[in-house]
Amino acid sequence: MKALVTGGGGFLGLYITEQLVTRGEDVRVFCRGDYPRLNELGVEVQRGDIRDSAAVAAACAGMDVVFHTAAIPGVWGPWSQYYEINTLGTEHVIAGCQQQGVPKLVYTSSPSVVFGSTSHENADESLPYPTEYACHYPHTKALAEQAVLAANGQRGLATCALRPHLIWGPRDNHLVPRLIQRARSGRLRRVGDGSNLVSMTYVENTAHAHLQAADALNADSAVAGQAYFINEPEPVNLWQWIDQLLALVDLPPVKRSVSTKTALRIGGALETVYRLLHLPGEPPMTRFLAAQLSCSHYYSVEKARRDFGYAPQVTFPEAMQRLQRDLAARA
């Protein structure tokens, strides 16, 4: 199988690339940067920007499947940047697949595309898209997901979207480092009463789910045109997990807390100040972040289990051990 991975040098994309190589697939990666690990793997690398439609189309040439993981994450920044990369970039991938006759497209979405400001408890894919979003990332990802699913069956292309929740693991350069850095600087506060449950997704399990979905995806399959939550079957207490994470690097548990109402109020005020004064960086608290840190948000994976046999390959205790070894190696 000839597979293209957009963003294949990134956190999730690299794990997908590695698993494809291990299976003996012929892999091409489309990315902007230079990644030594890709050279070690011996995969073909095409450098380019997801906003360049011609470059994306060229990367899709001759492929049997495209895994589209490239995106800009985060909770702050200009609409144009998020829209051009997450939404228009995805439209370029769809067009590239259709122009080049690619039969399969697996899109990496996010549960945040259906997250408003209230808790989700064992929710499934029947959740509607909200009418308003608290930040640009989930909004632009939702527009992209809808475009991917609408493209299913058009010009010979079968599509599906996976929604992995809170991806973490070795080589993470976003979630885990940010939590540790905030704890070390004394700026990490528990938001809410600390009882909220969330779904977590270990990165190697997430990558495996992408391969499973691609294997099952074809024009006549149950997977075609569908979105799927991907996470460990059982939720965890968010703040207990954060304390476990901090213990891996010999940091004390989170002691200080702030109420959800206060965090939302602070987040809204900081957003206004940063926007009006054009301050660099991102606010230490936003309304979206306050909701994510205080609400429960965990999801059923029954649909993914039923349609393409999703099941985590790495257990939670083993995943934590692998993360600990990675953090020790980085120290």
Are residues 235 and 41 in contact, defined by beta-carbon separation less than 8 angstroms? no
Q: Tokens for 1, please give them.
A: 């199988």
Are residues 7 and 69 in contact, defined by beta-carbon separation less than 8 angstroms? yes
Task: Output the pTM of the full model.
Answer: 0.95
Catalytic residue set: 137
Are residues 314 and 202 in contact, defined by beta-carbon separation less than 8 angstroms? yes
Report the DSSP pairing between strands 236-237 and 197-198: antiparallel
Q: Tokens for 3, please give them.
A: 């597979």
Q: CATH says 2-169+200-232+299-314 is which class?
A: alpha beta
Going residue by residue through the chain (331 aa), what tens digit of pLDDT does each one get?
Answer: 999 999 999 999 999 999 999 999 999 999 998 999 999 999 999 999 999 999 999 999 999 999 999 999 999 999 999 999 999 999 999 999 999 999 999 999 999 999 987 899 999 999 999 999 999 999 999 999 999 999 999 999 999 999 999 999 999 988 999 999 999 999 899 999 999 999 999 999 999 999 999 999 999 999 999 999 999 999 999 999 999 999 999 999 999 999 999 999 999 999 999 999 999 999 999 999 999 999 999 999 999 999 999 999 999 999 999 999 999 998 7
